[in-house]
Structure 1
Amino acid sequence: MNNPILVTGAGKRVGFHIASRLKQDGYEVLAHYRTETDDVQKLKQLDIQTIQADLQDTASIMEFIDKLQQFSPAYRGIVHNASAFTPTADDLVEAAEQYQHFFTIHMLAPFLINQALSKLLKGPGNDPADIIHITDINVENPTPRFDIYGTTKAGLHNLTLVSAKKLAPQIKVNSVAPGPVLFTESHTQEARQKMLSETPLAREGGAEPVYLAIKSLLENPFITGATIPVDGGRRLSKA
């Protein structure tokens, strides 16, 4: 068996698409999920190995890392897709709890997993292995209503840059920054139309362009510390 690529947050939406497309393109995949979903069952039907973990605190992250170390002696790469996305709470106590949760998912978990698995990451042949962080164009063009989300994703972006320096030359570390690829239930019809009006390509991108950006990074052995925006140009908007 080839060394697997770990995809976190693969139980639905973009993460599910990434895991299934990697498998389709011949990669071995270990798909992490938090909650059992219909998409998790679909991953299993595609003969994709799955692993459950709720990355809610340091202890649970370390338990997950222990499972990963037992699952395989080597990994081809990691795609950090696990994410939390809600508007910032108005109540300060709720906002503080939200900040801690988003920090844990977006920053602490990737940092600890990268550190723990760095010695297990093996690229193809003489090429480096890959770590890919899924950030957001909010890093470059923040939305005030989602400031906790945006600032913790910005921390993940910075982790990309420092890790690219720290883990070279054995591992290359890059980011993919999606924009309006898949709307969520929190987006009203008015919000969707506004976002699309601010997007030069004027449409919802879908999950496939995110996967294509990931694939391009996996296949290019000479890119590290870079971010590929997958946003239809929305980061260029002043809004």
Structure 2
Amino acid sequence: MDNPILVTGAGRRVGFHIASRLKQDGYDVLAHYRTETDDVQKLRHLGIQTIQADLQDTSSIMVFIEQLQQLSQSYRGIVHNASAFTPTSEDLNQAAEQYQHFFTVHMLAPFLINQALSATLKGPGDDPADIIHITDINVENPTPRFDIYGTTKAGLHNLTVVSAKKLAPNIKVNSVAPGPVLFTESHSQEVRQKMLAETPLAREGGAEPVYLAIKSLLENPFITGATIPVDGGRRLSKA
């Protein structure tokens, strides 16, 4: 592969859209997925190379890194979209397992991948390469019911800032923090209406605004250590 952008968690929803749109805009893309889906098949039909890995523990992450190093000698950038999202369990043992899992996906995997690939990241011309972390507006104001999710995403936000310092000047490191961009089937109509009522722009954003934020970071050579919220202003109205 020729200097691709790696997108993790590209097997569905926002990750699928990011990988597809990058390809449409002329980038070479390597799309990571955990579980085979119809969207993964669609990515292949678009000419996007895919790679499977379950980022569940250190050993599986290290195997994934070895595969990445074999697939390409250089990378244009990395978009860390892989994520885990469920309410915190009330059972203490389950919560402990949940915390370890969320930490591994949201913090450990991006850290190890960034460390391993940093020497291979190469931007266009004399411009720096890019690492982009997909965090969440919960980083600013976490929801108690999702405290494990929010605190591990906050760790990813901190990784953004420290990595921007550590990897400059050859690599820019930024975050995109989505809000209510895509509802899931688990969201009842009541929950959807409540979320929209708390969102100043009063609409479901969709995946495209997330991609547009990523694209703006890729195309701007002088932004690092920054976070772009893509939430319709919802973070402004949360008490």
- TM-score above 0.5: yes
Aligned partners of 2:189 and 2:180: how far apart in 1?
13
Q: Do the aligned residues in 2 keep the contact of 1:131 with 1:173 (CA within 8 Å)? A: yes
Q: Establish whether residue 204 from structure 1 lines up as the match of residue 173 from structure 2.
A: no
Aligned partners of 1:137 and 1:189: how far apart in 2?
22
Letter matched to residue 173 of structure 1: V
Aligned partners of 1:35 and 1:113: how far apart in 2?
20
Aligned partners of 2:188 and 2:104: how far apart in 1?
28
Q: 1:2, CA displacement in angstroms?
A: 3.7
Matches within 5 A, 1:1-239: 2-239=2-239
Aligned partners of 2:96 and 2:189: how far apart in 1?
29
- Sequence identity, in percent? 89
Q: 1:185, CA displacement in angstroms?
A: 2.6
Can you give the 5+ residue segments of structure 1 that lack an aligned partner in the other structure?
A: none
Which string of whole-angstrom CA distances, capped at 9 and with x for unpartnered residues, describes residues 41-99 of structure 1?
00000000000000000000000000000000000000000000001111111111000
Q: Do the aligned residues in 1 keep the contact of 2:2 with 2:74 (CA within 8 Å)? A: no
Q: Do the aligned residues in 2 keep the contact of 1:4 with 1:28 (CA within 8 Å)? A: yes
Q: 1:191, CA displacement in angstroms?
A: 1.4
Q: Do the aligned residues in 2 keep the contact of 1:11 with 1:37 (CA within 8 Å)? A: yes
Q: 1:192, CA displacement in angstroms?
A: 1.1
Aligned partners of 2:134 and 2:194: how far apart in 1?
23
Aligned partners of 1:184 and 1:143: how far apart in 2?
18
Q: 1:140, CA displacement in angstroms?
A: 0.6
Q: 1:184, CA displacement in angstroms?
A: 1.8
Q: Aligned with 2:132: secondary structure? A: strand
Q: Do the aligned residues in 1 keep the contact of 2:107 with 2:153 (CA within 8 Å)? A: yes
Q: Aligned with 2:6: secondary structure? A: strand
Letter matched to residue 23 of structure 1: K
Give the alignment's TM-score, normalised by structure 1. 0.99
Q: Aligned with 1:204: secondary structure? A: coil
Aligned partners of 2:56 and 2:143: how far apart in 1?
25
Aligned partners of 2:210 and 2:148: how far apart in 1?
23
Moved over 3 A (4+): none
Aligned partners of 1:218 and 1:155: how far apart in 2?
23
Letter matched to residue 85 of structure 1: F
Letter matched to residue 138 of structure 1: N
Q: Aligned with 2:200: secondary structure? A: coil
Aligned partners of 2:62 and 2:2: how far apart in 1?
25
Q: 1:182, CA displacement in angstroms?
A: 0.4
Letter matched to residue 10 of structure 1: A
Can you give the 5+ residue segments of structure 2 that lack an aligned partner in the other structure?
A: none
